[in-house]
Amino acid sequence: MLALDDPRWDTLSSCYGGWPVADLLERLLTESFPLPHVEHRPTLWDQLFSELYHQGTLYPATIAAMPHLVRIVARVEPRQRTEWLSLIADIEAMRTVGNVYDPQEQLTPDLVNAYEETFLEVTVLAQETIAAGGWRESVRSESSLAALLSLSAFASGERRLGYLLSRWWPYAETHTARGLLPLASLEKYEDLTGDIRDRV
């Protein structure tokens, strides 16, 4: 894990570069918890994610920040964690298809290893969150549960399954043009990875 006082944070690319990522992480880690429900989530969290994730694109700072993001989410009550973990699932889905903008090749093995090792802890957090049942209160409970399940798939090395679950939309929405069919999203992944299998 890259310590928050490490000078490398000053050079790691993020989306806008307007908010120092390490400073935002440190401030979030010292905020009073539990965090409020997502509808009232803190401005600091929004500022942080605007730097780490933009229109499906990740950055070296995103990968470096993941262990700290998980520390933050671990402090949230299990019934309140669904949205936070769904964002982590979305990040891992984009990493799976290679959507990391790193023209300066700042991603070093230590950052990637720390990111991947974190997913063992993420799996535990997701299991606690599923058991707590807060995902049922989501407007999109089916896709919320699928996102939580995707984290276990990613951690187990089942990246194809993890990607499919993390990009899930309820069947009812596929007829309203508000989201892609899950199989269309899966096909995009298979086109990029070459992991194409016979489909029923």
Classify residue 1: in a domain, yes or no.
no
Q: Is the pLDDT of residue 137 over 70?
A: yes
- Examine the pLDDT at 65 and tell me if it is beyond 80: yes
Measure Cα distances from 55 to 51, 62, 91, 100 in Å.
Answer: 11, 13, 11, 11
Whether 84 has a pLDDT exceeding 50, the answer reads: yes
Query: Rounded CA gap, 106 and 60, in Å?
Result: 6
Q: Is there a domain that residue 198 lies in? A: no
Q: What is the pLDDT, as a whole number, of residue 102?
A: 93
Mean pLDDT of the residues in the chain: 82
Query: Under DSSP, is residue 58 helix (H, G, I), strand (E, B) or coil?
Result: strand
Structural domain containing residue 162: 7-193
Which one-letter amino acid corresponds to residue 33?
A: F
| Percent share of the chain, pLDDT over 70 | 78
First-residue to last-residue Cα distance in the chain: 43
What pLDDT was estimated at residue 181?
A: 54
pLDDT for residue 200 is more than 50: no
Residue range 93-115, pLDDT digits in tens = 999 888 899 999 999 999 999 99
Q: Is residue 199 part of a domain?
A: no
In a domain, 100, yes or no: yes
User: Has residue 184 got a pLDDT over 70?
Assistant: no
The share of the chain scoring above pLDDT 90, in percent, equals: 42
User: Residue 2 falls within a domain, yes or no?
Assistant: no
pLDDT of residue 163: 87
Task: Kindly state whether residue 146 falls inside one of the protein's structural domains.
Answer: yes
- Say if 200 falls within a structural domain: no
Domain count, the chain: 1
Reported as a single tens digit per residue, the pLDDT across 145-154 is 999 999 999 9
pLDDT bucket at 198, cuts 50 / 70 / 90: very low
Does residue 20 lie within any of the structural domains? Answer: yes
The rounded Cα 132 to chain-centroid distance in angstroms is 20
What residues form DSSP beta bridges with 100? 58
